[in-house]
Amino acid sequence: MIYKAVPGPKVISISGGNHSVATDAFVSIINAEAQNGWTYHSMETITVQEKTGCDLQPQIVNTNIYMLIFYKE
């Protein structure tokens, strides 16, 4: 079995409480990968630490990245 990780959208803007826009963004990725023969397995969250600012006073910022996991036989 072969696995593949695809990053999900970083930011999804919605208006008027229309949450289907957010879910549609993920569905779009899943359907595109399915058309290429990949089967959706799960969504995992990884946290990336990044140093921002100048070298004298660096700030560490944590960012969550949502990875969609797919597999092929």
When pLDDT is averaged across residues 5-17 and rounded to a whole number, the result is 84
What CA–CA distance (Å, rounded) separates 55 from 8? 31
Q: Residue 57: what pLDDT?
A: 77
Per-residue pLDDT reduced to its tens digit, 42-51? 999 999 998 8
pTM: 0.77
CA distance 39 to 26: 14
Residue 54 has pLDDT above 90, yes or no: no
